[in-house]
Amino acid sequence: MIPGARLVILGRQGAGKGTQCVRLSRHYVVPHVSTGDMLRAAVKEGSELGRKARAIMDDGGLVPDDVMIDIVADRLARDDSRTRGYILDGFPRTVGQAEALGEVTAEQPLHAVIDLDVAEEVVLRRIADRRVCTDCGTNYSVHAPPRYDWTCDVCGGEVRQRDDDTEEAVRRRLDLYRKQTAPLIEWYAERRLLEVVDGLGATDDVTKRLVAAVDARTRRGFAAGR
Ligand code: AMP
C-alpha cells in the first residue's frame, strides 16, 4: 500500500502547481485541496462566500485570512484528510495562514512543504497561454488544447481563459506572491519542512522530482512514527 502524505505545495501562479497537484493526489491517493478551486466553485454556486470572494479574485487580491482559515480547517477535518492526508494547493498564502495551519495540524504535522520553483518571466508566458476547464478545473494551454473545440477531455465542460488571468490581475498576483507568499519559503525553511523542486521541464520529469522529494520526507516521517 502506498502511504499517504500531508503536503503543502507553494509556487508562483503558473508554476504548474495545479497540474502537478492532480498527479500527486492520484499517486498518494489523497485529496487535492485547492483553495482557488474551492473559491471558484463557491462563485459558481453563488453562495455567500462566492459573492464575497468574486470581486477580490477578479482583481487579483487575497480573500481575508480568517475566511480562508475556516474553509481549510473544515476541509482538513474530514475523514479522507485525517486518514490519508492531503495536498494543499494555494494555501497558506500569508504567514498568518501558515501559523493557523500549524495549529490545525498540531496533532498530524505536515510531512513537507514543496516550493515548485519556476522563474517569474517563465510563468508570465505560461499564464498568458493557460486555458482552464470552467467545470472541473483541468488545465490546458493554447499549445496543448483539449481534443475537441475547447471542450474538456475529462468532463466535457467549457475550456477558456480564467477571469483573473488578465495581464493586470496576473501582475498584481505575482506582486502579492513576492510580498506575502515568498516569505513563507524562508518561514518553512527555518522549520526544516521546505524542499525546493525545479518546476522547469517536461511534466512527467517534474512529477518524478516531486515524488522523489516527497518520498524522502514521508519515509523519514513514518520512520519517526508520524
Ligand atoms: P489560485 O487558483 O490559487 O490562483 O487562486 C485564485 C484566487 O483565489 C487568488 O488570486 C485569490 O484571490 C483567491 N485565493 C485562493 N487561495 C487563497 C488564500 N489561501 N488566501 C487568500 N486568497 C486566496
Taking only the tens place, the pLDDT of each residue in 17-73 is 999 999 999 999 999 999 999 999 999 999 999 999 999 998 889 999 999 999 999
CA distance 110 to 193: 8
> What per-residue confidence (pLDDT) applies to 221?
56
CA distance 55 to 57: 5
Nearest to 151 by CA among 128, 134, 174: 134
Taking only the tens place, the pLDDT of each residue in 142-172 is 999 999 999 999 999 999 999 888 888 888 8
Cis peptide before 64 (omega within 30 of 0): no
How many residues does the structure list for the chain?
Answer: 226
116 CA to centre of ligand 1 in angstroms:
17
Residue in this structure with the C-alpha cell 512514527, named with its chain if needed: 225
Strand order in the sheet with 139-141: 139-141, 130-133, 159-160
220 CA to centre of ligand 1 in angstroms:
31
Q: What topology does CATH give the domain 5-223?
A: Rossmann fold (3.40.50)
Contact (Cβ atoms closer than 8 angstroms) between residue 31 and residue 87? yes
Ligand 1 interacting residues, C-beta cut-off 6 A: 13, 35-36, 39, 56-57, 60-63, 68, 90-91, 93, 97, 164, 173
The answer to whether the predicted template modeling score (pTM) of the entire model surpasses 0.85 is yes
> What per-residue confidence (pLDDT) applies to 54?
94
Please report, for the chain, the start and end positions of each structural domain, with discontinuous segments joined by +.
5-223
89 sits in which H/E element:
strand 85-89
- The atom of ligand 1 lying closest to the CA of 56 is 12
> What per-residue confidence (pLDDT) applies to 59?
84
**Active site annotation includes 17:** yes
Q: Whose CA is nearest to atom 12 of ligand 1?
A: 57
3-state class of 147 per DSSP?
Answer: coil
Long-range contacts of 119-122 (CB under 8 A, 24+ apart): 120/12, 120/174, 122/14, 122/200
Strands 130-133 and 159-160: antiparallel
> What per-residue confidence (pLDDT) applies to 168?
85
Residue in this structure with the C-alpha cell 505575482, named with its chain if needed: 174
Q: Show the 3-state SS of 98-125.
A: HHHHHHHCCCCCCCEEEEEECCHHHHHH
Taking only the tens place, the pLDDT of each residue in 178-222 is 998 999 999 999 999 999 999 999 999 999 999 999 999 887 755
225 CA to centre of ligand 1 in angstroms:
33
Residue in this structure with the C-alpha cell 519515509, named with its chain if needed: 219
Compute the C-alpha angle 75/157/15, nearest 5°: 60
Strands 130-133 and 85-89: unpaired
